[in-house]
Structure 1
Amino acid sequence: MLDLYYWTTPNGHKITIFLEEAGLPYTIKPVNIGTGEQFEPAFLAIAPNNRIPALVDHEPQDGDGPISLFESGAILQYLARKAGQFGGKTLREETEITQWLMWQMGGLGPMLGQNHHFKTYAPETIPYAIDRYVGETARLYAVLNRRLADREYVAGPYSIADMACYPWIVNHKGQGQELADFPNLKTWFERVGKRTAVRKAYDIANNINQVPTVTDDARKVLFGQNANTVRN
């Protein structure tokens, strides 16, 4: 059995999409990051960076006791190996998928996250920051659009690379982007969004967090962290 420590963010959606696609049995353990549940000692024992998602596999393949994981990219790679799906069947497929997964982890996610922050959550409007991250978002969209010019999916067959990228494109309007400007990306986005497992993952999210708003108290929890947060 798999325990998924989860909240309704793009990184959380990556894992529910995979689990629904692969048909692996799992239990969701909600971690409300707006109220500070990510700082509870039991969660930190699994996820020392106090971020969701995290995963505990109680029946790993080596049979040597539970394995806990944090970082969504690492979780996707682990699950792909466990399920024997979506991680590539050859060395070349696996290499291609890994590159685009790391591209998402190192670029698409962090840059779009900063976009969300300065456009939506920052307590003051900082035009330079907004222009910087909206522009970088557009650049990354263009990279993905070019990549998808001659293929249906990001890294060959449908894979964890698609599952990692898709949730970050969902809020394209909030990021100041129009998918019509990126026609290959738009076609891919619509294709992935029609998948039964993807729709199920978002249904799960809606059932857990029906009103995904950020209150003033949640802002203090989410955006007021520093070294003392970890020391304490």
Structure 2
Amino acid sequence: MMSAKGKLYGLGVGPGDPELMTVKAVRLLQQSPIVAYLAARGKKGNALTIIESYLKPDQVTLPLIYPVTTEKLPAHLNYETLVADFYDQSAAEVAAHLDAGRDVAVICEGDPFFYGSFMYLHDRLAGSYETVVVPGVCSVLGAAAVLGAPLVYRNQSLSIISGVLPEEELKRRLADSDAAAIMKLGSNFPKVRKVVNELGLGDRALYVERATMKNERVLPLAEVDPASAPYFSIVLVPGRKWQS
């Protein structure tokens, strides 16, 4: 008799502080025999660092190691193909446990469906396995809390903008926004700061890196060293204050 398939859990574990995990995420994490996490080669990854204190001795961790992250690739290698193949292989590894009747919790920093790596596994597996997604506190909200910056007042709209965008597109989208969170900085930081200043938003823009993590750092935008801005940093441009 074949065993029933396991359940797939996509757990948002928050932006960095383990106490920002939801009660539901902790419960489902601790009851899952297999805990899968994504990380760069040679690193634990932020998601695993967040949840380590909640793990039980009998749980098995399943590392899914990216073949490439932000480094420049040789001309003969295609980033999109490499990453697609990686997610195909990772989905197959997770599916092997699910087919054997073991539940798998895939942990995801922030929220699983907000720039979360889990979404690519969800695309490949959710049609074949019972899947539960638990939302998490995303980095934008963690950053706003750390900075003490209300994001949007009354009828204002918030734009989430990728710093990877070309300069003119980034400028257009930011100019059209009441408030904005600019993510995916790293090597894109000089371009982002240039656009912010050209739009006259330097006095409103706020910068934080690794918000809510132990190595969190808040700096004035003008004082950030472009060479040191990590990928996990955010520039917030809060909506203009409304006097109630």
Q: TM-score band (shorter)?
A: 0.3 to 0.5
Structure 2-normalised TM-score?
0.35
- Structure with greater proportional helix content: 1
Structure 1-normalised TM-score?
0.37
Larger radius of gyration: 2
- Structure with greater proportional strand content: 2
